[in-house]
Each structure stands twice: as C-alpha cells, then as structure tokens.
Amino acid sequence: MGDRRAVAPTELEAEIGRVGRVLHDAFPSHRGRPLKALDDRAMDLAGQDEELRAALFRFVDVVPACRSLDDLAAHLTGFLGEVGERPPSLRAAMRMGDTKAGRAALGAAGAAGVRHMAHRFIVGEDPRAALPTLRKLWRDGIAASVDLLGEATVTAAEADRYALRCDEALRTLAGAYDRFPARALLEGDAVGPLPRANLSVKVSALTPLLRPEAPVRGQRDAAPRLRALLRRAHELGAHLHIDMESLDSREAVLELVLDLLAEPEFADGPSAGVVLQAYLRDSPDTLDTILEWSGRTPRAQPLVVRLVKGAYWDHEVVEARQHGWGVPVFERKADCDANFEALTARLLEARPLVRVAIASHNLRSVSHAIARNRMLGGAPGDVEFQVLRGLGDDLGHALAASGLRVRSYCPVGDLVAGMAYLVRRLLENTANDSFLADQAHGVPLEQLLAAPAPVAS
C-alpha cells in the first residue's frame, strides 16, 4: 500500500524548516519586472480596503457588458464613489469623469486594466492561442494543465459544444506537446511514463442536468460526453483531469468518474484524475472512498489525486446558513491547513495506488509535502506540485529551480467566460488570511512555516 515508515514529528518539523528556507530563497526577484511589482502593489492595496476591493470587483464583473467608454467610466466612477477613504489616485480618477475626454480616457484605462489582469490569469482565448505560454513554461521546466473556462451549461447544445471544445483542445495540446523538447522530470515518475498533454474538465459543463435532488439523471446525461473524452485522451496519450466544484455536485461527479474509469475499456488508460478539497470537513471520508476504489480497480495508470484547499468557501458557507445546515467547510484557516497536511500524509503513504498532486500556494503546506515525501523515501519526481497561473508563478519557478516536478493550472477562454474565474482568483489573491498576502506584508519566514495552530482550549 505504500511506504509506511514512521515519520518523527520533531524530525519532520526540522525538515520542513530546511525545505521552506531553501524554497523561500529560490523565489524570483521582482527586480527588472516593474509590471509584476505594480500588479502586486495594486492587489495589496485592494486587499487592505474592503470598500475599494468590493468596488473594483464589481467593476471587473460588469466590464464585459459595457458597450462604450462612457459606460465603462460611469460604472467605474459610480463604484469608486462608494469608497469612503480615497487615496489621491482614486480622487484623480473621479475628477476625470467630469469631462467627455476624461471619461473616454478613464473608460479606456479601466478596460485595459481589466484585460491586463485577466491576461495574468487566463493564458489565451483558446488552446492554440495559449501555446506560446505553454511552450515557455515547458522550457522553464513546468508542465501545464489547461482548463477551458465556462460555467455550468443550461442546454444540451451548450454541453455538446463544451465537449467538442474539449475534444479539439486534446488534439491541439497533444500535437503541440509532441514537438516540445524532452523534459525527463516532467515525463515520468516511479510508476512509469506521464502524459505531456493535460486537460482539466468540469462535469457541470458536460450536462445541463446535474442537480443535487436528481444526481442520477445528470450522471446519465454527462456519461456519454465524458466517456468520449476519456477515449480521445487514451487515443492521444493525454491526461484528463476532472475538476470538483461545489459540494452539492461532488458525490455525483466522483461516482460518475470512478464508475467510468472502472469500465473494462479504460483499464489500460487514459491517465485520469480527480480533485480532493481539504476545506470540506468530510474530505477524509472522500479519500477513504477514493483509496478503496483504487485498491479494487486495477488500472495501468493510477488515479491522480489533486489535493487542493478549495475555491468555493464563500458559496458553501452562505448556502449552508441560508438553509440552516451545518457549515460543511472548516471555518478556521488553521483547521483547513492541518487537514491538508493530514490528507497529504495519507496520499503519499498510499502510493503507488494513486499519484499525488499537491496544489497549494502556501509555503508551509508545500514544504510539508516535500519534507514528508523525502522522509518516506520518495524521489523528487514522485509527487507533483501544482500552482495557479497568475497566482503561484513565483512559487512554481522556485519549485522547478529546486528540481521538483511542477504543473501550472492554465485557464483559457474569453473575458466573458472567464469573469467568474477571474473574480475567484482576485478574491484569493487579496484574502487577508492567505499566504500570498502574508508574504507581501513581510510576515517573518518562521511564522510562515509554523505548524497550523490548534484551537485554544
């Protein structure tokens, strides 16, 4: 079932400290990268002022619907007008809205700013447009998983179009990656070869019928489309990763994926994976289900489990409170972090039943996974580290420079389709309890690497 040698807590903490310091020192400098430094400063300002953050996010959300520069300027000044304490730059922007020429300039600047921010997180309008970025990442020692943006579908025709886009993306990515140079670390681990091309898909986009009150109907409708994509991935030697979204669809999605992968035609492939969300209180039970299935379902390619914290925290809390339910997610960051580490340990010990992908921007969480993998006798390439394009770029390059296997999660799509994704990423980047915010505010390294604090008694 994997290497179960004992890992002494004191030795583990010492190793986490050593790993974390090396990674921290390997972070790229922003010197000579003025745009990156400016972006980070803008994010920092938004994170410090809740009114400003709300105003800017509301503006981001309406940009695709605006039809003129005047319209853009009116929305921007309207939202900024609700901010109480305005720094000089915002006061100047408000004054620009008093004249026609000023409104045109303000609208153009606002639209350009949103496009610039979107391009930080979204690598192209389609997979072909994303290829230059994917090629550069590969050259830098970083693989990618491409995600086709688009929220839940509402018609069968939309689901068919999304499935077709996924099929075309697999063909485009497989053909492009075949021409990329060799990268041994990215192309194999202790189990065997790893696919170069990697696509992430959402079951909610493969059917309009995914409803918590009737999960079987949604599963039946999505199954033919997902089965066809698995066949295409197998034919092309690509990896297909199925994302998880909100809790109300998790059980149906996981059951569908595991049932399809257990079909005899998929015993030899393709490589495929699921997501485990550590912010859910019952995630250890979900991991039990995954490991039990992996133990009784022999496949040539072990299931890849991408461990994440989770991106729908606000949604889960609001929905639970509206219905009077118990909140399904950890409400303390430290509790989520501790669960993430416990799940990391279980996944690493379960190899080779599963392949492990650690998706986090938290220096402590990543250092813990590296340290535990070493203490279990794993090679650097036996665990994958995943970062989000636009948020985890510095961490990704530090990991790659340290000889570790890294994958960047790269969304593609137009600005309208990417709005919900863009706002989630901006919220994550400006959250007051995030590692990125702590790092930007100069929190001491020892504090960044400290073990998650238990609840005070």
Per-residue pLDDT of 55-78, as tens digits, reads 665 666 666 667 777 776 776 677
Burial of 122: CB neighbours in 10 Å, binned 0-12, 13-18, 19+? buried
- Angle made by CA atoms 117, 412, 302, in degrees to the nearest 5: 125
Asked if 381 and 192 touch (Cβ cutoff 8 Å), the reply is: no
Instruction: Indicate where the chain has its CATH 3.20.20.220 domain(s).
Output: 9-28+124-448
Compute φ and ψ for 339, nearest 5 degrees. -65, -40
Query: What is the CATH number that goes with domain 9-28+124-448?
Result: 3.20.20.220
Exposure string of 339-360, with b = 16+ CB inside 10 Å and e = fewer, is bbbebbbbbbbbbebbbbbbbb
Exposure string of 18-42, with b = 16+ CB inside 10 Å and e = fewer, is ebbeebbeeeeeeeeeeeeeebbee
Asked if 142 and 408 touch (Cβ cutoff 8 Å), the reply is: yes
Asked if 355 and 191 touch (Cβ cutoff 8 Å), the reply is: yes
Q: Can you tell me the distance from the alpha carbon of 7 to that of 344, in angstroms, rounded to the nearest whole number?
A: 13
Query: Could you report the per-residue pLDDT of 138-180, keeping only the tens digit for each?
Result: 999 999 999 998 766 889 999 999 999 999 999 999 999 999 9
Asked if 222 and 256 touch (Cβ cutoff 8 Å), the reply is: yes
The pLDDT tens digits along the chain (457 residues) read 444 567 789 999 999 999 999 999 999 876 555 555 555 555 555 555 566 556 665 666 666 667 777 776 776 677 666 666 665 655 665 667 667 777 677 667 666 666 667 778 889 999 999 999 999 999 999 999 999 987 668 899 999 999 999 999 999 999 999 999 999 999 999 999 999 999 999 999 999 999 888 999 999 999 999 999 999 999 999 999 999 887 788 999 999 999 999 999 999 999 999 999 999 999 999 999 999 999 999 899 999 999 999 876 666 677 777 777 888 888 888 999 999 999 999 999 999 999 999 999 999 999 999 999 999 999 999 999 999 998 899 999 999 999 999 999 999 987 666 666 766 666 665 554 455 556 656 789 999 999 998 754 4
**Cβ atoms within 10 Å of 438's Cβ, excluding its own:** 16
Q: Can you tell me the distance from the alpha carbon of 22 to that of 367, in angstroms, rounded to the nearest whole number?
A: 10
Distance set, CA 285 to CA 152, 214, 251, 295, 393 (Å): 26, 22, 12, 15, 32
Per-position DSSP letters for 29-40, written without gaps between them:
P-TT-HHHHHHH
Compute φ and ψ for 414, nearest 5 degrees. -80, 175
Asked if 307 and 343 touch (Cβ cutoff 8 Å), the reply is: yes
